[in-house]
Amino acid sequence: MRCVLLLAGVLCASACAWGPGMYMDESAFRKRHAEMADAGTDGGAYEIIPIDAELLGKQQAALLQTRPAPKQDPLAEVATDYQYRVTAHDVLSVIVWDHPELTIPAGEFRSPEATGHPVSSDGTMFYPHVGVVQVAGKTLQEIRELLTQRLASVIERPQLDVRVVGFRGQKVQVTGEVVSPSSIPVTDVPLRVQDAISQVRGLTAEADLRGVTLSRGGKTFTLDLQALYEQGDVSQNWLLQDGDIINVPDRSRNKVFILGEVRRPSSRLMVKGRMTLAEAIGDTEGFDPVSSNPARVYVIRGNFNLPTIYKLDARSPDALLLATQFQLQPQDVVFVSPHDLTRWNRIISQIQPTVQVLWQAVDLGNRALTFQPQNPP
């Protein structure tokens, strides 16, 4: 029996090294990364940074300096003097004043688009007394001057009005987290990214405004519409052209993971890319009052080889005021350590069945020796 108790004591003494569950061993962390630095696998300095007023001040200053840089719209010069150019499949309406025979009336039940002059796939259009003329690539003013010149030989001093009644040739695709993904025609009114999103009935609740992509000519550009809405950064609102594809991604990658001794460990989606440490803990219903150690709340950020770890001592409730200002980033891991007593109790609960089995085996052996029958003389 003494051997059994001695074995149990040895197990308990070394249990902290292999106890169940997750916990943060700060000394082991520093030692591991010191060895990696000595080996030359990385060149960073590793430390666990306390979350205090000084750190929050630095973080606030860094946020002000890391605002999205203004972008250069490739079509900025086009936007200043925008003119729509007719393309194939558009429908034009040509009105010659004082000559109704050249103007097909729309009528009460016929739209101007149905009675207009379509532009064929080769960019040409037919008009009476003019014949087939090339109109694709021309502005309305250029087409008006062309038809006026051609009709001058038939009509004395013709006066024309040319309009586009069907914008069919140029389109922009809007996909992703919008209410009604669809294609939008490019018209004689300049079409920008925000205009296109408005025409598809806006964004859904799952949209990630900071990562809107614009695909054009085999290249992809990232636009921050959140900076447009909240900071008035109009440089993010690019002018669109035919063939552009706008994709609004979802916010599934903007997650924060809250693990350890909280009531409901889970992953939480950030709202507009923002979440504080206090919000993350509150969304999981707070610390577990029985098993948690609020003095060791960690925020782990970055990759495995070069992480940044922040530590909050929340034993006093007023420390949560610091947590309300500490901004998390996507893919951060918030870990609340267990209390030392909690770890010890878990270790005991793990080895208790083994001790009981050994105790029962020894007890059965003692009973067998006690009640062993004596040989008759």
How far, in Å, CA of 300 to CA of 308, rounded?
A: 6
In a domain, 117, yes or no: yes
Q: Which of 166, 181, 201 is the last residue of a domain?
A: 166
What whole-number distance in Å separates Cα of residue 38 and Cα of residue 99? 91
194 and 239 housed in the same domain: yes
Domain count, the chain: 3
| Ranges under pLDDT 50 in the chain | 15, 43
Same domain, 217 and 265: no
Do 266 and 336 lie in one domain? The reply is: yes
Query: Quick one: 337 and 257 in the same domain?
Result: yes
Q: Which amino acid is located at 54 in the chain?
A: E
* Residue 282 and residue 230 share a domain: no
**Is residue 211 assigned to a domain?**
yes
Task: Examine residue 156 and state whether it is found in any structural domain, yes or no.
Answer: yes
Per-residue pLDDT at 190: 93
The answer to whether the beta carbons of residues 217 and 242 sit under 8 Å apart is no
Could you say which DSSP state residue 317 is in? G
Q: What is the CA radius of gyration of the chain?
A: 37
- Supply the pLDDT for residue 112: 64
Domain limit, last residue, from 121, 139, 166: 166
* Range of the structural domain that residue 264 is part of: 22-51+253-341
Backbone angles phi, psi at 256, to 5 degrees: -125, 135
Beta bridge partners of 48: 309
Q: Tell which of 135, 166, 197 closes a domain.
A: 166
* 304 in a structural domain: yes
Q: For residue 302, tell me if it sits in a domain.
A: yes
Q: How far apart are CA 360 and CA 169, in angstroms?
A: 87
Sheet order of strands, 182-185 included:
182-185, 171-176, 245-248, 212-216, 219-223
Among residues 94, 186, 80, which one has the least CA distance to residue 135?
94
Q: What is the pLDDT of residue 70?
A: 78
- This model's pTM is above 0.85: no
**147 and 182 belong to one structural domain:** no
Domain membership flag for residue 232: yes
The answer on 242 and 180 residing in a single domain is: yes
The secondary element (H helix, E strand) that includes residue 341 is: helix 340-370
The per-residue pLDDT for 296 is 92
Is residue 355 in a domain?
no
Query: Do residues 161 and 174 both lie within one domain?
Result: no
Per-residue pLDDT at 329: 92
pLDDT at 43: 47
Q: What is the pLDDT of residue 280?
A: 94
Whole-number Å distance between alpha carbons of 335 and 267: 12
Residue 46 lies in a domain: yes
Asked if residue 188 and residue 174 are part of one domain, the reply reads yes
Judgement on whether residues 117 and 186 belong to the same structural domain of the protein:
no
Strand order in the sheet with 117-118: 117-118, 91-96, 160-166
pLDDT in tens, 258-299: 999 999 999 999 988 899 999 999 999 999 999 999 999 999
183 and 123 share one domain: no
Q: Where are the beta strands (DSSP E) in the chain?
A: 48-50, 91-96, 117-118, 124-127, 131-134, 160-166, 171-176, 182-185, 212-216, 219-223, 245-248, 255-260, 266-269, 292-302, 307-312, 333-338
**Confidence at residue 7, expressed as pLDDT on a 0 to 100 scale:** 56
* 257 and 329 in a common domain: yes
Q: Domain of 220: which CATH number? A: 3.10.560.10
**Residues 6 or more apart in contact with residue 168 via CB below 8 angstroms:** 89, 90, 91, 185
pLDDT digits (tens, 9 = 90+) for 121-132: 999 999 888 889
Task: Check which CATH number belongs to the domain holding 148 and give it.
Answer: 3.30.1950.10
